[in-house]
Amino acid sequence: QVQVVESGGGLVQAGGSLRLSCVASGSIYIIRDMGWYRQAPGKQRELVAAVTRGGRANYGDSVWGRFTISRDNARNTVWLQMNSLKPEDTAVYYCYAGNSGLALDYWGQGTQVTVSS
């Protein structure tokens, strides 16, 4: 079993920055990929950023050039640096940890990010 816990959300003005953190614990040897997804009210959950154990990163089109994901494999920790925030970025952000080869996906409870105009 893997537990995933996010932190760092909050209220920020448009143009500002936030840094989210996520730590996975438990059977961490299972984890291969980690990343961030978000869901705004009335919308589908979407990819924000993800990174493999080897450091290959993938970003959603809506955050390209503004967000940066980083990872410490030894600590099973991932961060999301969010710059130039827009009101459209307002959502609950969920941390993901998993192993697609084993069809195992683990999710955090989410942290709220609200961007005011």
Q: Per-residue pLDDT tens for 2-47? A: 999 999 999 999 999 999 999 999 998 999 999 999 999 999 999 9
Note whether 49 and 80 are within 8 A (CB).
yes
Separation between Cα atoms, residue 4 and residue 15, nearest integer Å: 29
Note whether 64 and 58 are within 8 A (CB).
no
Which tens digits make up the pLDDT trace of 41-86? 999 999 999 999 999 999 999 999 999 999 999 999 999 999 999 9
pLDDT at 37: 98
For the chain, give the mean pLDDT. Answer: 96
